[in-house]
Amino acid sequence: MAYNFHPYYLNKHLNMNFGRFFLRVYAIWQFITRFFREVLLPPYEYKEIINQFFQVGIRSLSIITLTGFITGVVFTKQSRSSLAEFGAASWLPSLIAIALIRALAPLVTALIIAGKVGSNIGAELGSMKVTEQIDAMEVSSTNPFKFLVASRILATTAIVPVLAIYMGFVGLMGAYMNVHHNEQTSFTSFFQSAFMKITFLDVWVLLLKSAVYGFTIGVAGCFNGYNADQGTVGVGRAANTAVVVSMFLIFIEEMIIVQLVNYFKHG
């Protein structure tokens, strides 16, 4: 037991992990550059790309609708009392719109897609890897990286922004129903005041950062699945790592993007 605390072993342990960590970062970097190379160079797997767009989009639609609606309703309910304290209950629609468009919609969408689609990609590619289906594709003269990886990363990158916009809309609908029920605000006046504080920049940032999250989810799922090993254990681990890593990175990216946007806005 005691040897664990000896500086020599501690040092050795750290060195090993640092070495492995940097090897992994390098491997991921290679994976990402390969993605851009394969995406840009023909032949293009149109059919499979379209197929993945539908897989990612359609299969997530119901859960995004549900969570978006609930987010809108709950956030409205929870904010009302504090705004009312300052006599600012009429600010409710624009507060909710800002919260949804700037933060909640992209973040919640990305986390849900990471859990649902990211784990699915990790498990699917992982099991294809360990059962030699990826090798089989390769000997069928099909580039498995293009067919499986590039199409999935493209799909998550393109679809998460669409779903995030959709969640923003559904969330506002939830908020409207709650506000209408309590304050009898009309549909037009709700949305007029909701969009008063929303700028084009906000929408662009939402699209851009959701695309970054989607790319992260796709890369994390594909990298872990494509490099899975050690049989069925490896498949489970690939799915799990894909989710944990992408959720972690999404929060880091959120923080960086918020800083950058503030910097550009206010100099």
Partner 1 sequence: MANSMAKTISTPIDRSRPVISIRGLKKGFGNMQVLKGVDLDVYHGENLVVLGRSGSGKSVLIKIMAGLLKPDAGTVSVLGRDIARLNTKELQALRTRIGFSFQNSALYDGMDVRANLEFPLVRNKRHLSHSQIDAAIAKVLDDVGLSQTLYQMPSELSGGQRKRIGIARTLILQPEIMLYDEPTAGLDPVTSVEINDLINEVQERYHTSSVIITHDLTCAKATGDRLVMLSEGQFLRQGSFEEVFDTDDPKVKNFYNYNFIAGS
Question: Where does this chain bind partner 1 (CB under 8 A)?
Answer: 124, 127-128, 131-133, 135-143
Residues in contact with 155: Cβ distance below 8 Å, sequence separation at least 6, in sequence order: 49, 52, 53, 55, 56, 57, 218
> Cβ closer to partner 1: 90 or 131?
131
Residue 267 CA to residue 264 CA, distance in Å, equals 5
> Cβ closer to partner 1: 36 or 187?
36
> Cβ closer to partner 1: 65 or 143?
143
Query: CA 210, 70, 185 angle in degrees (round to 5)?
Result: 105
- Least Cβ distance, residue 255 to partner 1 (angstroms): 37
> Cβ closer to partner 1: 127 or 156?
127
- Least Cβ distance, residue 41 to partner 1 (angstroms): 10
- Least Cβ distance, residue 219 to partner 1 (angstroms): 21
- Least Cβ distance, residue 10 to partner 1 (angstroms): 25
- Least Cβ distance, residue 123 to partner 1 (angstroms): 12
Query: How far is the CA of 73 from the CAs of 86, 118, 194, in angstroms?
Result: 21, 27, 15
- Least Cβ distance, residue 160 to partner 1 (angstroms): 23
Residue 263 CA to residue 80 CA, distance in Å, equals 31
